[in-house]
Amino acid sequence: MPVEASPSRSATAQGRERALVVDDDDHVRVLVQRILATAFAAVDAAHNAAQGVAALQGQAYDVVVTDLTMPGASGLTVVREARIRAPEAAVLVITGFADQDDEAQIQQLGAELLRKPFGVGELLAAIARAQASARLSPAEG
Amino acid sequence: MATAKVFEEITLALEDVAEVLTAVARGDFAVRAPRSFRGDSIDVLAFLVNSTAEEVSDLVEQLENERTELRQARDQLVMAAKLAALGELAAGVAHELNQPLTAIQMLADMLLRRPERKLSECEGDLQMLSEAARRMARIVDGVRTFGRPGQLRRVPTQPAAPLMAAIDLLAGTLSREGVTLEVDIEHDTPGIEADPDQLNQVFVNLLTNARDALRSLSSGSPRRVQVCLWSTPSSVAVSVEDSGLGIDPLDASRIFDPFFTTKGVGEGTGLGLSVSHGIVSNHGGSLSYQPSKDGGARFVVVLPLRPDGVAR
């Protein structure tokens, strides 16, 4: 995976942290992974919620970025698993469509929401927000 | 002698009557039998046949007007059904457009942040940008052609194109509803003479029905839609199969009837399959239903190949 150097190594730049990206869209997943690789020591990727859950069960993550709408189980399954396995992880849900129910559940689970489409700056800022809120109030497992 | 004259008059009068009736039979209501206004039997006969011709003319005109009104009402209903379906698709379309748009925005940001990179180093990224833009164009095209009414306009067509456009249009909605879409498409089939916009409408209708069938399943049930396209020496076939509960055998014979629907009030117009059946028939093909081996619904569209088998 080529690493895209990011000029703004802001609040997301944490030398030894590990991130997980879950998205069924090949382009979005590859690009988010590339961006995160500039800020995190290791970035794993999963194509769907089941793979994402399996990754969370086998590895501890500091940051989890997941799509909401995917074939099979939704991204909320990944968020719930992250809350059980890694209550202090920063969790960001990225989605092209979220209704009020989805928004309420994402908020309730202590995750941040970022609507597609977004650019590099917005993604990094949203991850920083997720990290800040995870530090302030780690969700209960 | 007098008898011969009367006989001749009667013969002529009958010929006049025959002429009027023959004209009416071929749809010409302007021909009239000549009147003597003598008030005798022959004149009365001419009067009666002329009145009948006029009355038939009025009735036919009235029927034609009603038929035109009915046709207009049906066209409006078809259009309304398409617009309603399109409105429902909007959320899915937004989701589907936002995926490539995200890729484009991130790639553009990455390229802008690294102005020192040579163009040759960016080839992979530019390729991805181009693919994302093309995907958006296909989705927009699907929306545009789906909402457009029109006459059958046959052009050399690769059957996979209107099918892919329909899949692009519905993929977002299906994904949002947790449906796994399995696609097995033979892309290099021979071309057919077809109206791609109308075929797109057929495929959108079939995919929409599959989605609706899966909505009634309980939450744990697997939701799957399988789309296949294959060719035979004489035709191209497309099947759309869902893992729903299938169609009640009692309803199966009526599903292609206009206004027949098993969906709730306000949910379906009962026109989707009837319009689709009409479109496929106009292409010289067939649209048929059979239960899938798992008990879900399976629709198969068969379209004849054009003789030379070449598409643009």
Best of B104, B114, B123, B175 to disrupt the A interface (most A CBs within 10 Å) is B175
A87: which residues sit within 8 A by CB, 6+ positions away?
A138, A139, A140, A141
Q: Are strands B297-304 and B286-291 parallel, antiparallel or unpaired?
A: antiparallel
Distance of alpha carbon B24 from alpha carbon B31, whole angstroms = 8
Across the interface, which of A24, A70, A96 has its CB nearest the CB of B98? A96
CA-wise closest residue to B173 among B219, B209, B127: B209
- Decide: A96 and B96 in contact? Cβ < 8 Å: yes
Q: For residue A12, what pLDDT is reported? A: 42
A21 to chain B: which residues are within 8 Å by CB? none
**From chain A, which residues contact B within 8 Å (Cβ)?**
4-7, 24-25, 27-28, 30-32, 34-35, 69-74, 94-97, 115-121, 123
Q: Is there a contact between B128 and A27 if contact means CB atoms under 8 Å apart?
A: yes
If residue B125 lies in a helix (H) or strand (E), which one and from where to where? helix B123-146
Measured from the Cβ of residue B255, the count of other Cβ atoms closer than 10 Å reads 20
Peptide bond into B291 cis (omega under 30): no
Residue B215's pLDDT band (cuts 50, 70, 90): confident
Which residue of chain A comes nearest to B174, CA vs CA? A71
What are the residues of chain B with a beta carbon less than 8 Å away from any beta carbon of chain A? Answer: 91-92, 94-110, 113-114, 128, 131-132, 172, 174-176, 178-181
Model ipTM? 0.79
B99–A116 CB contact, under 8 Å? yes
Contacts of B174 in chain A (CB under 8 A): 71
Do B178 and A71 count as a contact with CB atoms less than 8 A apart?
A: yes
- Ranges of residues in chain A with a pLDDT under 70 are 1-15, 137-141
Express each pLDDT in B38-59 by its tens digit: 889 889 999 999 999 999 999 9
Q: Which of A5, A28, A71 comes nearest B175 by C-beta?
A: A71
What are the counts of helices (DSSP H) followed by strands (DSSP E) for chain B? 7, 7
Output the pLDDT for position B187: 85
Packing angle between helix A49-58 and helix A75-85, nearest 10 degrees? 10
Rg (CA), chain A: 13
Contacts of A35 in chain B (CB under 8 A): 106, 110
Least confidently predicted of B40-44, B58-62, B75-79, B130-134: B75-79
B13-43 pLDDT, tens digit each? 999 999 999 999 998 999 999 999 988 988 9
pLDDT digits 0-9 by tens, B260-307: 666 654 455 556 787 788 889 889 999 999 899 888 999 999 999 864
Phi, psi for residue A15 in degrees, rounded to 5: -45, -45
In tens, the pLDDT along B148-168 reads: 556 678 889 999 999 998 998
Report the pLDDT value the prediction gives residue B307, as an integer from 0 to 100.
47
CB contact under 8 A, B105 and A69: no
A-chain residues within 8 Å CB-CB of B99?
A: 25, 27-28, 96, 116
